[in-house]
Amino acid sequence: MENMINISEVNSMKDERFEWVFGNVIELSSEAAACVKNMRPFKDVTDLCAAFYKYLDEVTFEEKIKVLKSHPDLAGRLAAQGKLTPESACEQRSAGLNDLTPEQKSVIDSRNKRYKEKFGFPFIICARENKVQSIIEGLNKRYNNSLEEEINIGINEVKKICQLRILDIVKN
């Protein structure tokens, strides 16, 4: 991205602009940006990422569930309807989720449904760090985890997604 900003620009942003720029680094969680803006100034982009991680670590159990529920299903209905956030659309495309065979689509759909029925939130994996086969393997393997394990894994995947989204905005 050619219009990246530096950390001093992040630190000097008006609050509303900060919330707008960073409002979707955690999917559809503008309240994260509203909270993190108060942690400025940041030394560097690593420090900025750490502030979002701290937010995720410190929110209540219910807020963690809300964060997890705000993520779309991988290759799901929103993707099919073209209604993903621009960030999610790009991430799913990079993982190859736009080019699934009918068999892969069927497997992912059924595994997503089964996972969501068990845990109450969508399967979350950092799509930019994975491809179709590793996503399917993750859906199969992680289904056997406990709710607590999946909340922790899901939040850690959200942190990876968040970091990559921040690195798309702020020069390192």
Judge whether 115 counts as a catalytic residue: no
- Render the burial of 71-98: b for 16+ CB within 10 Å, e for the rest: bbbbbbeebeeeebeebbbebbeebbbe
Alpha carbons 63 and 65: distance in angstroms, whole number = 5
Residue of 71, 111, 142, 159 marked active site: 71
32: Cα separation from own chain's centroid: 12
Instruction: Kindly state the helix (H) or strand (E) to which residue 162 belongs, with its residue range.
Output: helix 147-169
**Helix, strand, coil fractions of the chain, as percent rounded to 5:** 65, 0, 35
Catalytic residues: 71
